[in-house]
Copies of this chain bind each other. A is one copy, B any other.
Amino acid sequence: MDGLTINEAAETTGWSPRMLRYIERSGLIEPRRSAAGYRLYGPGELQRLRTLRELLAEHEMSLGDVGFALRLHREPTLQHAVEAWFETTPSRPEDVPAGDWLSWEQTKHERLLAAIT
């Protein structure tokens, strides 16, 4: 059975066995299994587990954040959508002649009317 079992991996990485299972369910690090279903952690997994701890500690982020970064990494569509949102400039009153966009956005009363309709 080459590879460390969950308790051994926990010992050498500093995570608790409980968290190793949780990290696995989060899709971050999925060790292979022995014939009987035991988790077997190889050197690669152990390294990823150790650096994962540093990553979280040094950059004030959560497992969920890493999980999302992984999604961005694997889903180009998602990455593009998010970047497109960033491109939506925070404010550009020049796009529309001054004072004009407000009328386009409708006046308060017209909007209320529209809401009722």
Contact = CB atoms under 8 A, between A and B. Distances in A.
A101 B43 contact: yes
A68 B70 contact: no
B68 A65 contact: yes
Nearest to A52: B85
A105 B47 CA distance: 11
A88 interface: yes
A36 interface: no
Contacts of A105: 4, 12, 43, 46
Interface of A: 2-4, 8, 11-12, 29, 32, 42-48, 51-52, 55, 58-59, 61, 64-66, 68-73, 78, 81-86, 88-93, 95-96, 99, 101-102, 105, 108, 111, 115
What is the oligomeric copy number? 2
A45 B78 CA distance: 22
Contacts of A111: 8, 11-12
